[in-house]
Amino acid sequence: MSGDERDAGSSAEADLETMVQLMGRMARRMKGAGSHGEARRLLDRIAAAGLGPRHVPVLFSLVLHGPQPVGVLAGHLALSPATVSQLVGELQRGGFVDRRADEADRRRMIVSLAGHHRDLVERFALARIEPLRMALRALGEEERAHFLHGWATVVEMMERYADGDTGGDAADGGGAACEPDGSRDGPEVSRGA
């Protein structure tokens, strides 16, 4: 191992400690954002309906983008339409979303937040989304590109590790080759519609 490789490894280990600390702080803030009692009330309602954490991103997307067809919702969530349709069906049975036929194309169904839980879902989601929006707005365009590149790489490595791939990292060619300028053959970053 050369001196440069040792320095890069030591630097990565020091940065790892900082990253773990920041992730812990972020998780605590995301968990406690807004009224803790209100968050607990919503999460209890979700659990009582037989739903879980995998349903929450659907609700967040509806808060961010408003009513939308399942296919568009699937695009926002980077999931298959079949998976999103299943999630929406479960959320509908739980009383969290409504589906109605699109006025322009009766074959297409529009998904929206149900009135019964709308205010609570919106407060819960916005208390978590707004700090993220503020952070992105605080960064310049190039800084945002680097940040999103790094975030996408973290998510990809977590997914790969969960799938049993513990061997490679980006430094030795085993990871994502994703450029902050937008050209990439690594992790996909959805920049929204």
The edge-to-edge listing of strands for the beta sheet with 68-69 is 68-69, 109-113, 97-101
Structure tokens at 115: 């009135």
User: Helix, strand, or coil here: 162?
Assistant: helix
pLDDT tens per residue across span 32-46: 666 567 778 888 999
Q: Which has the minimum average pLDDT: 16-30, 64-78, 88-102?
A: 16-30
CB atoms within 10 A of CB 42: 20
Secondary element (H or E) of residue 30: helix 3-32
**pLDDT value at residue 40:** 83
Residue 178 has pLDDT above 50, yes or no: no
Distance CA 111, CA 121 (A): 15
Q: Is the CB of residue 89 less than 8 Å from the CB of residue 95?
A: no
DSSP symbol at 80: -
pLDDT tens per residue across span 66-84: 999 999 999 999 999 999 9
Phi, psi of 65 (to 5 degrees): -115, -5
Domains, the chain? 29-138 (1.10.10.10), 141-193 (no CATH)
Of 43, 167, 57, the closest CA to residue 117 belongs to 43
pTM score: 0.71
**pLDDT value at residue 182:** 44
Residue 47 has pLDDT above 50, yes or no: yes
User: Helix, strand, or coil here: 109?
Assistant: strand
> Higher confidence at residue 172 or residue 110?
110
